Amino acid sequence: MLNTETPSSLHTALDTYPTATLTAVLIDDQYHAVRAVRAVAARIAQAVDAALPRIQAGGRLIYAGAGTSGRLGVLDGVELLPTFSWPNERAIGLLAGGQQAMFIAIEGAEDNTEQGAADIAHLQPQADDVVLLIAASGTTPYVLGALHAARAAGALTIGLANNPATPLLLTAEIGIGLDTGNELISGSTRLKAGTAQKIALNTFSTALMVKLHKVYGNLMVDVKPTNVKLLRRTVSLTMHATGHDEKTCRRILEECDFHVKTAIVALQRRISVSAAGQLLEQHRGDVRSALESAIPDAPHMYHRADEKLSP
């Protein structure tokens, strides 16, 4: 029997606990998720380093899973657009049972190996694509079908599972075993197994975005301002990074369609928004590199005299 399916010997009278005790026990059990992910930090780092050149070459992040695992994959990919301006077409979530399975449990969808392979094949994967395959059991047929199709296409495959030495971990190019053990409520892998998957996916995708220069210092400077809250955030991020006042930052942000990276470089280097964009392009979007580089002493690159910024 898989570890995640084995009944726990702890709290066998869970259904009799007072509410305060019940909630405390459920929360405390989640600490195992953090420890499980921390134990494979080196494997996650290996996955990031293997994925980076492929993504830099134009590859896509493709997530494949079923049930809770699949939904966590979809969630991770969807959040990359507003957080890091990562295009939706380069973060694709495949879920057993299709889009409707995001909201309704589709019984039996996870057992379809052929559909997993077909869903991957439909995307026409290439060698630069990175496919993350997520299954608590490590044996889910849909995910294994997707895995074999992705490997056959030459894509990088990264498997995440909560049971050691399972087919997913043994067959993926990089297997990340999140050994969370048995669940407090037997077999309910939406508990700490799911938490560990969420932490691992967050860690992988965030580290990858940092390596892609989507972060300056610890500021998310490639944020996509898709709502009022994020629009305000672009202003506060620019103020924090440059030390300039709100009025100045907002004016420069308006010139560059609220692209924080461009605003920071323009303000810090005292150059035009256009020149800042060119400088960032030359340095592959790396704000730090753009700020530290030499720039030509060309008058057209600077703000007009009436736009000069105070020190």
The residues assigned a catalytic role are 79, 110
Can you say whether the dihedral through the CA atoms of 83, 219, 213, 262 is positive or negative?
A: positive
Token readout for 141 is 């047929």
Q: Where are the alpha helices (DSSP H) in 127-191?
A: 141-152, 167-171
CA dist 160 and 206 (Å) reads 16
Going through 36-161 in order, the beta strands assigned E by DSSP cover 61-65, 91-95, 130-134, 156-161
Token readout for 147 is 């895995």
Contact 189, 4 (CB under 8 A): yes
Q: Say which residue the tokens 């290439």 belong to.
A: 126
Bridge-partner residues for 174, per DSSP?
Answer: 158
Q: Where are the alpha helices (DSSP H) in 153-259?
A: 167-171, 192-211, 228-242, 246-255
User: How many CA atoms are closer than 13 Å to the CA of 239, on its beta-carbon side?
Assistant: 12
